[in-house]
Amino acid sequence: MVAISLKTSALPNPVDVTQQEQIVDGYLTLTGNYPFNGDTVAFGTLDAIKSGVVPTRVEVFEEPPAGTAPTGYQYTYCPGTTINNGVVAILGSLGTQFATGAYSAGLLAAVIRFRAWFPRGE
């Protein structure tokens, strides 16, 4: 089950295509429960991504609106074997993993962004 949904950002051009790679900016929305060792991210569900291979790099970060406190969690993308089975691990204080189970209200409300680099031509 895929619990994290994806959408591209509203930037004027959320997809940057160079000769060697495609860079995609977007948002992650957490839903449901956090599974042990990370929640699945299926990049293949985004029409904007023209690559069918595992991203070479993914940054995941919070972007709280002005006047809103960040949750303080850190996000790490762990690549899978396909474009659809990588996971985002969520780490709390001292690098401990978020507890398996329901997401906190703060995480469900957080504005979480990603930037992913995909090889071109595959």
This prediction has a pTM of 0.82
Distance CA 47, CA 41 (A): 14
Per-residue model confidence as pLDDT tens digits over 1-50: 556 777 776 655 656 666 788 889 999 999 989 999 999 999 999 988 88
Per-residue model confidence as pLDDT tens digits over 36-66: 999 999 999 998 888 899 999 999 999 999 9
Closest to 60 in 3D by CA, of 34, 38, 32? 38
Query: Reading across the β-sheet that carries 39-41, which strands appear in turn?
Result: 39-41, 86-91, 74-78
Asked whether the beta carbons of 103 and 34 are under 8 A apart, the reply is yes
**pLDDT, mean of residues 92-112:** 92
CATH number of 4-119: 2.60.40
Distance CA 25, CA 7 (A): 9
Tell me how far apart the terminal alpha carbons of the chain are, to the nearest angstrom: 26
Enter the tokens of residue 56.
Answer: 């070479």
Give the H/E segment covering residue 86. Answer: strand 86-91
- pLDDT value, residue 26: 93
Q: Regarding predicted confidence, which is higher, 23 or 81? A: 81
Distance CA 95, CA 111 (A): 21
- pLDDT value, residue 119: 87
- pLDDT value, residue 16: 64
| Category of 54 on φ-ψ map: left (φ > 0), alpha (ψ -120 to 50) or beta | beta
Q: Where do the structural domains in the chain lie, given as residue ranges?
A: 4-119
